Amino acid sequence: MSEIVVADVSIGERSIEYTVDYSRDLRRFFDASTFSVSYDVDVSEVPYGIATIPVLAQVCPVAWATDSTVVVEAVDRQFVDSLDAVRDTLSRMYPAFIDGGALRAERITEHRHEPGSFDGTAQLFSGGVDSLATYVRHREADPALIAIQGWVVGVDEDDRWERAMGHVDRFAQREDCPTHGVTADISAFLDHTMLNVHYKYHTDGGWYSGVGHGIGLLGVCAPLAYSQGYGVVHMGSTHWDGFELESVTWPGRGSPWGSHPDIDDNVRWAGTRGHHDAFEITRQDKLELLADYARETGSPFVIRTCTYDDAGGNCNRCEKCVRTATGLLLAGVDPNDFGYRVDEEWYHYAIERFETNDWALDEHVRYYWEDIQDHLPAEEWPDDDGANEFLAWLADNDFADNVERSTQPAWVKLLRVGARNAPYELYEYLYPVYDRLRPKPYN
């Protein structure tokens, strides 16, 4: 059986660095042999069995997909139980490739605490719809807002991270709650492109979205939560109960996705549990919750949903920006007060983008827009011809047809098929060329 070995763990004052060895046949799935996580608090007193959790949370899903063994010196007992539960869930979600793997630890550690020592609350926070809704739902507990650099914003994108963290800090100042910035080599450690090549066919998203990000992001928070006494770490839902794509392989539990109640609620370590939040409400319900909160407090706030805008705001032109602004309109607030720009021309722009098939759409997007259609008002908006024309178009549009007409270029499909079937020796020889040609994500 192939192995992934956590060979060394170096715990510093505000960072933890790992050296990872792996069998030759697993090299294609790794971009580096080191992984590191940095925090804005002292983690030097975190026990070794807790310190190993961030790296285990990244490599264990790879081991489950490749039927490999992960070897580590020590790990917390509750987290070991979590790994078993999460693997069982993912194997039910993805029976085609999650069907094996093991963990071998020299020591299983136990950590006991004084009553009440882990009564703090935290949540993952990006400033988007999901995380803002989770904050509003749990604001009475004064949750700390944890932003993670290393997945959407790369570890080498300091300017973008500064803007993103500035957005988090401004919202935290408004609400008078604490924040934490965490940097983790998530994108730089695993070769997500090759993982996508091998497994995206079986998932509704990329590797990290479809498989790894629930346990991966919560696991990165383990040393921070231990040092600060956070007894729960909330993670806002992406999907909702009843969100079931046609390709679903997991009947009765929604669509397979890397963050789900059956994953996040099973992630635990000494004194702390993960919590998948707001699975019972839709994305439009969340926008209405945020609109109500803005009205209640008498002060709107920026909702940052766009990953395309280099200035750190919202581009107002991508599908996600248009979708969020539309949802705010239906919730009865002005999107211009929440970080978007909506004018008379915007309505025509939105309709034209769909009718000319300018956006790359998938089944997830169809669900979001059909959720919006389910919340359409019965009456017209007074004195706004552009908005009412848009409303009428929205009520009648077939978003399933938009998705069907939105296809990837043929060369992308051929690249995936070729790379999926390439032996390691050929992959190793051609990788420099492949790396230059492979599609780059928007950041």
- Please report the pLDDT score of residue 79 as a whole number: 98
Selected residue with higher pLDDT from 186 and 382: 186
pLDDT at 435 over 80: no
pLDDT score, position 387 = 87
- Kindly report the average pLDDT of the chain as a whole number: 89
- pLDDT at site 360: 84
Stretch 405-427: mean pLDDT: 50
Please report the pLDDT score of residue 423 as a whole number.
45
| C-alpha 364, offset from chain centre | 14
Is the pTM value of this prediction over 0.75?
A: yes
Give pLDDT, residue 255.
Answer: 77
> Tokens standing for 341?
């720009």
- In contact, 258 and 211? CB cutoff 8 Å: yes
Which tens digits make up the pLDDT trace of 266-293? 999 999 999 999 999 999 999 999 999 9
Closest CA to 305 of 316, 294, 289, 297: 316
* Whether residue 374 has pLDDT greater than 60: yes
What are 122-169's pLDDT values in tens digits?
A: 999 999 999 999 999 999 999 999 999 999 899 999 999 999 999 999
Distance (Å, rounded) from C-alpha 231 to C-alpha 226?
Answer: 8
Read off the pLDDT of each residue in 102-118 and give the average, rounded to a whole number.
Answer: 90
Provide the sign of the torsion angle of the four alpha carbons 440, 441, 442, 443, taken in this order: negative
Query: Over the stretch 287-317, which tens digit does the pLDDT of each residue have?
Result: 999 999 999 999 999 999 987 766 668 999 9
| Predicted confidence (pLDDT) at residue 363 exceeds the cutoff of 90 | no
Task: Classify the C-alpha dihedral 316-320-326-329 as positive or negative.
Answer: negative
Give the integer Cα–Cα distance in Å for 211 and 250: 14
Task: Return the bridge partners of 34, or none.
Answer: 19
Tell me the C-alpha distance between 143 and 243, whole Å.
28
pLDDT exceeds cutoff 60 at 215: yes
Task: Kindly tell me if the per-residue pLDDT of 376 is higher than 70.
Answer: yes
pLDDT of residue 411: 46
Q: Structure tokens of 162? A: 């500064």
Inform me whether the pLDDT recorded for 410 exceeds 50.
Answer: no
pLDDT in tens, 319-335: 999 999 999 999 999 99
**How would you label 47-86 residue by residue, b for 16+ Cβ within 10 Å and e otherwise?**
bebbbbbbbbbbbbbbbbbbebbbbbebbbbbbbebbebb
pLDDT confidence band for 116 (50 / 70 / 90): confident
pLDDT of residue 82: 97
Beta bridge partners of 320: none
**pLDDT top residue among 420 and 352:** 352
Return the half-sphere exposure (C-beta side, CA atoms, 13 A cut-off) of residue 43.
27
Angle at Cα 205 formed by Cα 204 and Cα 210, nearest 5°? 95
**Both structure tokens of 38:** 């940095």
Cβ(136)–Cβ(290) below 8 Å? yes
Q: Which residue has the higher pLDDT, 432 or 155?
A: 155
What mean pLDDT is predicted for residues 227-254?
82
Cα distances from 423 to residues 27, 418, 432, in angstroms, run 12, 10, 15
Percentage of residues in the chain having pLDDT higher than 90: 75
- What tokens does 308 get? 């395309």
The residues, ordered by sequence, that sit 6+ positions from 239 with a Cβ below 8 Å of its Cβ are 254, 255, 257, 260, 279
pLDDT-wise least confident of 2-11, 30-39, 183-192, 300-309? 300-309
